[in-house]
Amino acid sequence: MLEERRLDVLRAIVEDFVLSNEPVGSKALAERHQLGVSPATVRNDMSALEEEGYITQPHTSAGRIPTDKGYRLFVDRLSGVKPLSRAERRAIQSFLEGAIDLDDVVRRSVRLLAQLTRQVAVVQYPSLSCSSVRHIEIVTITPVRLLFVLITDTGRVEQRVVEVPAPVDDLIVGELRGVLNAALNGRRLVDAPEAVADLSDTARPDLRPHLATLIAVVMEALVDKPEERVALAGTANLTLSALDFADTLRPLLEALEEQVVLLKLIGEVRDLDTVTVRIGQENSMDALRSTSVVATGYGRGASALGGLGVVGPRRMDYPGAMAAVRAVAKYVGDLLGAD
């Protein structure tokens, strides 16, 4: 029962409301957009749209604003992919190509994304489990505490302090370093457990029992509890949307400070090739119920190295945000996949 013009009206409402943050009325709509019909007709359409739950009135005799369902339809059916402007493309390129370091890449991209969209941006570091091992280094802190440094092919350097059950000496550490590097070099971390399964058998017989427990402990620390990391930028942009949030601002800021929350968020939406949009109540976490999230995965090949996206008010420029997210994800994926 959704005719063409009705969709046009919905799109016009969304676009106007995103710009003005004020309920939009039939007269203004008919004027500002070339709908080719009179305000009265628009009113009929609006009435129908409201009936079907796509728009709503804050109060009688006010204009209409889109509901979550309305935004959803807008995103699904109406917004063409808005290509980025030449200037934006150039900005992305020049912003990211100066990066050397992984840290640098992530920091630059998260700031870039925040700037392009004027929203809060989130970029996840490449997941450890999807990365391959380039080198493992072990440093003795005390005889029962070892510092493991894991360097991946994406340039990520991950450290982990591990408490070992029995004191170790340099000999054992050296042996451990040797066998771990030999076995894991170039392999993906998810494959690590099987790669080291019967590794201690190849070591010097007198060290085997010790090595076996050590390896178990290390694997647990590195594989079972992989530490995911994210970068955040643009929280200042929330002040632009202060009106949209009111009392939900504080819980939102608190949530954004929690790595755990952000990781959960990104984890849910890091499909490659698809820009996922979560609008208001569609979000699984309470603190984000009053926001919209536009996110995607980045990486080369089949599986995503990580995810990135933006968080903002439901009243968001979805086409713009989607385009920016997609573009940045592409650049980041190329940069990190290429190395």
Partner DNA sequence: AATTGGCACTCGAGGCAACGGAGTGCCAGG
Partner DNA sequence: CCTGGCACTCCGTTGCCTCGAGTGCCAATT
Residues forming the site for DNA (CB under 7 A): 5, 23-28, 36-41, 43-44, 46-47, 50, 57, 59-64
For 41, 222, 224, 293, the CA distances from 210, given in Å and listed in that order, are 81, 18, 21, 48
The option from a second copy, DNA, none interacting with 220 (CB < 5 to 8 A, set by class) reads: none
Is the Cβ of residue 23 or residue 155 nearer to DNA in the bound state?
23
The option from DNA, a second copy, none interacting with 61 (CB < 5 to 8 A, set by class) reads: DNA
Is the Cβ of residue 38 or residue 159 nearer to a second copy in the bound state?
159
Is the Cβ of residue 166 or residue 236 nearer to a second copy in the bound state?
236
Binding site for a second copy (CB under 8 A): 100-101, 103, 134-135, 137, 139, 141, 147, 149, 151, 155, 157, 159-161, 163, 233-236, 238-240, 249-251, 253-254, 257, 339
Q: Work out how close the CB of 258 gets to a second copy at its nearest, in angstroms, rounded to a whole number.
A: 10
Looking at residue 212, its amino acid is A
Between CA 181 and CA 195 the distance in angstroms is: 11
The option from a second copy, DNA, none interacting with 44 (CB < 5 to 8 A, set by class) reads: DNA
Is the Cβ of residue 84 or residue 256 nearer to a second copy in the bound state?
256
The option from DNA, a second copy, none interacting with 144 (CB < 5 to 8 A, set by class) reads: none
The option from DNA, a second copy, none interacting with 72 (CB < 5 to 8 A, set by class) reads: none
Is the Cβ of residue 68 or residue 137 nearer to a second copy in the bound state?
137
Q: Work out how close the CB of 101 gets to a second copy at its nearest, in angstroms, rounded to a whole number.
A: 5
The option from a second copy, DNA, none interacting with 243 (CB < 5 to 8 A, set by class) reads: none
The DSSP code for 83 is P
